[in-house]
Structure 1
Amino acid sequence: MASLLKQHALITGGSRGIGFKIAQKLCGQGCKVTLLSRSKSRLIDTTDYLNESFPLVAGKKHGWVSCDLSDPEHLSERLLSQFEDYKSVNILINCAGQTQQRLLVNTNDATIDAIYKVNLISPTILCHFFSRNMLRQHLENANIVNVSSILAQKYLPGTAVYSASKLALNGLTLSLSQEMNRKGNQIVRVNSILPGLIRETDMGESVNMETMQQYGLDQMTTKAETVANEVLKVVMDSRITGELIQVLAV
């Protein structure tokens, strides 16, 4: 596929960090993007930047929706209320995430609940909502990318709940990819990207090099730009599905 013209991606956590990098990569290929995040002011600023830097044809605009993924109870209803804005979405990027920096014994119930809601429950609801619509609308290049973490496979102290949520997200990816295969025809492609620790993120900044070396993670780092490039590759390559793809190095 040469470009993403006339395609539409919804990116959670798209107003900053990895999600913003991904948005820029997709926009650079002509894709329309809708950013979903909690901060309305940041969403407006980011979307304005995308519309100025990556203008769409025929008066179309990149868009945004403000939503708190730690409160997923009414997520589907929120999307349905603006369904005309989202029914063309053929690419879902679940990039929003909540980190953890405490041992489980020191983590309160509210934090545990929020981590699972942001990292697993809301992505599952979004996969359900958009995969159904992709099937009903017969959308081309229908695919879902879940941004997981190398910590779904490696141990780092103080990340037990975070790691478990990302491991479960990988399980969702593998199962949903199989469910979206109908008699050998992959109707919707589903993949997980597993970035190494990224220094530009809150979690990456909080971990010192000595700890990383102690647990064999000092060679398992990457950059947001590298992750965004890998997401773009997966989105554009129709052969890739049901994969857990580590993204390490720079």
Structure 2
Amino acid sequence: MFDLTGMNALVTGAAGGIGSAISRALAAQGARVALSGSNGAKLRAFRDELNESFAHHDHDGHVEITCDLSNTTQVEELVPAALDTLGKIDILVNNAGITRDNLAMRMKDEEWDAVIRINLESTFRLMRAVTRPMMKARFGRIITITSVVGATGNPGQMNYCAAKAGITGMTKSLAQEVASRGITANCVAPGFIRTPMTEVLTDDQKAAINGRIPMARMGEGDDIGAAAAYLASREAGYVTGQTLHVNGGMAMIS
């Protein structure tokens, strides 16, 4: 089940907590992964780790492509660079994202702009760029990591929630445009996942969060990796325009 041998994936934010778990999950199923992010040294170290853990007789090894998603020129160059390196892209995982939290009345224009540019606009540009080669190949898997708060809202995150909800709408539109060509577009919406970002929370904050989750604990990166590996698979070919919520029951969204 879910064998990705012979498939190539491009993952953004690939060295982060959730991004690295997704990259490992895809590599473990046999995919060749192009790791993208803004920190070249971190990416190279992770690429070496992936090549040690998940070498595959089927391909020449995992690669890294540095890209600053706040830079439009670099975003526009990312998919062509990945195509040059990999030859084809079967799977695109838009995972990179930032937060610039503030209450609405205090939110600065630049806090709004930065989150929309990196979380929403760069995702649109990458989706647009992979669509043509995927249509030609008559196969593709476009997976975007959203968030539970894109569906529920969250105080202090108007910009982030707008971007995540916007991605859901974009995904549904794209799914309808490309479905007849064997391309699916879906979202994975994590709840609270244990990552370096959540490790800065105090024990009291963690306890308050766990109190809102029926499973009474945060999820792991691997939980999101497994969801992405499923949606990337040939078996998931009839699933499109959907959001897979992986949140321990914190929000039960139909």
Report the counterpart of residue 46 of structure 2 in structure 1: 46
Within the candidate set 215, 225, 228, 1:228 is matched to 225
- Quote the residue 1:198 is aligned against: 193
SS of alignment partner, residue 102 of structure 1 = coil
Unaligned runs of 5+ in 1: none
Q: What is the deviation of 1:202?
A: 1.9
Structure 1 residue 235 displacement after superposition: 1.3
Whole-Å separation in 1 of the counterparts to 2:193 and 2:187: 17
Deviates more, 1:67-76 or 1:29-38: 67-76
Aligned with 2:6: secondary structure?
A: coil
Aligned with 2:149 (options 148, 151, 157): 151
Q: CA 1:205 to 1:104, structure 2 compared with 1: closer, same or farther past 3 Å?
A: farther
Q: 2:240 corresponds to which residue?
A: 241
> Aligned-pair distance for 1:87?
4.0
Letter in 2 for 1:232: A
* 1:89-100 superposed matches below 5 A: 89-100=89-100
| Secondary structure, counterpart of 1:177 in structure 2 | helix
Contact 1:87 1:133 in 2 (8 A): no
1:149·1:166 contact (CA, 8 Å) conserved in 2? yes
Equivalent positions of 1:1-250 (< 5 A) are: 2-57=2-57, 60-80=60-80, 83-136=83-136, 138-140=137-139, 142-182=140-180, 186-202=181-197, 205-206=200-201, 208-209=205-206, 212=209, 217-219=212-214, 221-236=218-233, 237-249=236-248
Tell me the distance in 1 between the aligned counterparts of 2:69 and 2:85. 19
CA distance in 2, matches of 1:139, 1:108: 43
Residue range with higher mean Cα deviation, 202-211 or 85-94? 202-211
TM-score (norm 2): 0.87
Say if 1:240 and 1:81 are closer, same or farther in 2 by CA, change over 3 A: closer
1:164-220 Cα offsets, whole Å, 9 max, x none, are: 1000000011110001123xxx5210001111122325267548257648xx94448
Cα distance, 1:59 vs structure 2: 6.1
The structure-2 alpha-carbon separation of the partners of 1:54 and 1:117, relative to structure 1 and needing over 3 Å to count, comes to: same
Would the aligned equivalents of 1:100 and 1:203 in 2 still touch at CA under 8 Å? no
Q: Contact 1:198/1:204 (CA < 8 Å) preserved in 2?
A: no
CA apart distance, 1:41: 0.3
Alignment check: 8 A CA contact 2:65 2:82 kept: no
Q: Distance in 2 between matches of 1:58 and 1:200?
A: 31
Task: State the number of aligned residues.
Answer: 243
Inter-partner Cα distance in structure 2 for 1:59 and 1:33: 10
Judge which range, 68-77 or 238-247, deviates more. 68-77
Q: Per-residue displacement from partner, 1:110-150 (whole Å, max 9, x unpaired)?
A: 222111111110011000101111112x154x110010000
Paired letter, 1:22: I
| CA offsets 1:45-76 (integer angstroms, 9 cap, x no match) | 00011111111326602111111111224422
| Structure 2: gaps (5+ residues) | 250-254
Specify the SS of the correspondent of 2:159: helix
| Pair 59,92 (structure 1): closer, same or farther in 2 beyond 3 Å | closer
Structure 1 residues 139 and 179, CA gap change in structure 2 (3 angstroms):
closer
Structure 1 runs (4+) deviating above 6 angstroms are none
Flag the 1:58–1:92 CA change in 2: closer, same or farther, 3 A. closer
